[in-house]
Structure 1
Amino acid sequence: MHYVRAALGGAERLGIDPVPLLQAARIPPLLLGDDRARVTPEQFTRLVNGVRRATGDEFLGLAPAPSRQGTFAMMCCTCVGCRDLASAVERATRFYGLFPAGPDLALERLGDDAVFTLRDDLRGIPEGAFLGECLIVIWHRLASWFIDRRIPLRWAEFAHPAPPYAAEYDLLLGCPVRFGARRTRAGFDPRWLAAPVVQDEESLAELLRRAPADLLTRRDYATTVAEQVRRSLVRALREGRAARLPEVAQIAARLAVSPATLRRRLQAEGTSYRRLKDQVRREAAVSSLAEGQEPIAQLAARLGFSEDTAFHRAFRRWTGTTPGAFRLDGQQTGTFRLHGQQS
């Protein structure tokens, strides 16, 4: 809900009623009061696009000055013809540097790391923390999209203090995070800068059609062990060939490593099999309940829970509410009838 409230902040200051925006995005307005409630990427994408249209601003009315719609698309058009990632990122930062109120972004070197750096001080802006998070996430995902490979981040740091939802940064970035830093930035292996840009205007049109969903979710490039495990779990759920998700030994066998080796590699990437399994289950549960068709008992069994009560406990831990209450909110407001499975 932090992200939903933050995305609405600029529109509200402009006097725009947030309720129609939420309803158009199929988000029950009552969820705004529940800090632990969640929305799907599809719902959040609809909300962001609605706020963009209402404010006429790609920055959603949150930045000191608006960004005209189409600016981001034009920036991407200037980059898809670049030779490698380094030249694409440098061109993108120069592009936004042409606008006096544009984000002050830079690609820097810090020791053995290449670093995405946001040089703006956003601490005086009400939603500054949200803007900083979004800029780092989107620039990281966009860089990965340019080369069609997921770039693992080594670390990230933010100028704002640790928020109450700090644990969510693991889902967003998958790397160690520090708060209260001098600047907002993220580091990665500089060898990725030599990777060739493989996208073209046709693939860019598809990215922009789905934006910002593809830039806010963790696209499966499977360049890390964690992403390979995650893909295997998601595929098992989609195929539904067994009543339970594969165990760590089964996943290890598919990757041709021992279970102990798999655990060590996941630990080195800052995660674990249990955490990845929990994330995949949570995303699948929210998506299924939003669609409103699958019986809850059947959903619990498909996700590998031995009994309904275990699923109810897990869902409450994930969202702060029960599966039945979550689905009922959607049925009463007509908001959770989504098309397509969340991944």
Structure 2
Amino acid sequence: MRSPTIAIYFVQKCLQNLQQQPDLQLKLLNQNHISPSLLKQANARIPAENYANLCRDTMQAMGDELMGFGAQAQKLGCWTTMTELAANAPSLGEALKRLTRFYRLIPWGLNTNLEIHNDIASISLTPNTANSEFAPYLYESFLFYIHRTANWLIGRQIPLHRVDFSFSKQPHAAEYWNLFLTKNIHYQQNHAQIQFSASLLEQNVNISAQALEKFLNHVNLAMITQRYTSKSWHYKVSSLVEATLQNKPSFTDLAKVLNIHPHTLRNYLRQEGFQYQEIKDRVRCDTAIFHLSSMGCSVEETAFLIGFSEPSAFIRSFKKWTGTKPMAYKKRG
């Protein structure tokens, strides 16, 4: 299975507060097989595993789990302690109460709250003081980690009704689908929050000691690469495209496999906020980066593996997807 990829924006943010230590920045990039040249390419992407490792190493190097984005450093081990408390809760509702209560005790600049209104549960982030300002990265990353942790606690993907941000729409906003798996995202709201069905709070939490140990061994990787079977048409089409890349099936062929009329399938995808070409390009891009960066395949091999008959056509498409040529992603020793 292909490795998901992460937009270069998140790599830039990961290293942002080390700008005064360029040697350390370069060391972290090199040890995680990320070419420094990619930082200058707005459309560049890297394997999710490389980014997860970079986050872990940056947090350790800074001694701060918030990587400099909070009001003050968050000591290493805070997330582990919170996770252990949540994993021993009897239900998701109790686990999230413990999570939000734990982070209200830490002076990191934001208040975390769990509330229920009209059968909708929400977890919100609000600054401790009215004049406090934090980068969008702090809100988007922390809500992402809360959502993925909640998924892990009950062993299924929690569909989000909506995601609110207190900041304006960002240039990388298209990436929020990959983070939250919803297109219902709103900006310049009163506070940042995720919303979901309150009935899910009754779900049991049953995490074994072995599962907890595995999760905590590399939290960033466990959450960034997290996958649960989804009923969305986007997920179904993405999975089918991934499985049949070399055969180059037409959209009609895919619809036939899914036992649905092509016109109906296009409408379903449109309702979810996607177009088929967008899905196909993302799957091919992610798969190509996986083969180049993680598997060490040549450009020619990669072109063939994702369904291109000519390397030149692959190179042109890859540059369109990422802003740079495939060789920039070649695995280094």
Report what 1:176 is aligned to. 184
Aligned length: 324
Structure 1 pair 248–203 and aligned structure 2 pair: CA distance change class (3 A): farther
Report what 2:304 is aligned to. 301
Contact 2:166/2:191 (<8 A) preserved: yes
Provide the C-alpha distance between the structure 2 equivalents of 1:291 and 1:14, rounded to a whole number of angstroms: 28
Provide the C-alpha distance between the structure 2 equivalents of 1:129 and 1:205, rounded to a whole number of angstroms: 31
SS at match of 1:54: helix
Deviation at 1:121, TM superposition (A): 6.9
Provide the C-alpha distance between the structure 2 equivalents of 1:83 and 1:273, rounded to a whole number of angstroms: 42
Contact 2:41/2:324 (<8 A) preserved: no
Contact 2:71/2:107 (<8 A) preserved: no
Report what 1:202 is aligned to. 210
1:285-307 CA-to-partner distances (Å, cap 9, x unmatched) read: 11111136333233223222354
Report what 1:164 is aligned to. 171
Deviation at 1:272, TM superposition (A): 4.1
- Structure 1: gaps of 5 or more residues: 238-242, 338-343
Which of 29, 33, 39 is the aligned partner of 1:26?
33
Give the counterpart letter for 1:46 in structure 2.
N
Residues 1:277 and 2:285 are matched in the alignment: no
Provide the C-alpha distance between the structure 2 equivalents of 1:197 and 1:248, rounded to a whole number of angstroms: 40
Contact 2:41/2:322 (<8 A) preserved: no
- Matched ranges for 1:67-146 at <5 A: 67-101=74-108, 103-111=110-118, 113-120=120-127, 128-146=135-153
Which of 205, 226, 240 is the aligned partner of 2:234?
226
Deviation at 1:149, TM superposition (A): 0.9
1:263-318 CA-to-partner distances (Å, cap 9, x unmatched) read: 44433333344333222211111111113633323322322235434422321122
User: Which portions of structure 1, spanning 4 or more consecutive aligned residues, are displaced by more than 6 angstroms?
Assistant: none
Q: TM-score if structure 2 supplies the norm length?
A: 0.85
Contact 2:90/2:205 (<8 A) preserved: yes
Structure 1 pair 293–16 and aligned structure 2 pair: CA distance change class (3 A): closer
1:174-199 CA-to-partner distances (Å, cap 9, x unmatched) read: 32222222211122233322222233
SS at match of 1:305: coil
Structure 1 pair 200–233 and aligned structure 2 pair: CA distance change class (3 A): farther
1:75-115 CA-to-partner distances (Å, cap 9, x unmatched) read: 11111122222221111111222223364212223555322
Contact 2:121/2:196 (<8 A) preserved: yes
1:132-175 CA-to-partner distances (Å, cap 9, x unmatched) read: 11011111111111111112222212112222222222332232
Contact 2:88/2:205 (<8 A) preserved: yes
SS at match of 1:90: helix
Provide the C-alpha distance between the structure 1 equivalents of 2:216 and 2:326, rounded to a whole number of angstroms: 33
Structure 1 pair 198–251 and aligned structure 2 pair: CA distance change class (3 A): farther
Structure 1 pair 20–205 and aligned structure 2 pair: CA distance change class (3 A): same
- Structure 2: gaps of 5 or more residues: 1-7
- Which stretch shows the higher mean deviation, 271-280 or 32-41? 271-280
Query: Which structure ranks higher in relative contact order (CA pairs < 8 Å, sequence separation ≥ 6)?
Result: 2
Question: Percent identity between the aligned chains?
Answer: 29
Provide the C-alpha distance between the structure 2 equivalents of 1:253 and 1:133, rounded to a whole number of angstroms: 38
Report what 1:340 is aligned to. none
Provide the C-alpha distance between the structure 1 equivalents of 2:119 and 2:271, rounded to a whole number of angstroms: 18
Contact 1:67/1:102 (<8 A) preserved: no
Contact 2:153/2:205 (<8 A) preserved: yes
Residues 1:4 and 2:11 are matched in the alignment: yes
SS at match of 2:273: coil
Report what 1:240 is aligned to. none
- Matched ranges for 1:208-219 at <5 A: 208-219=216-227
Give the counterpart letter for 1:322 in structure 2.
K
- Which stretch shows the higher mean deviation, 72-81 or 261-270? 261-270
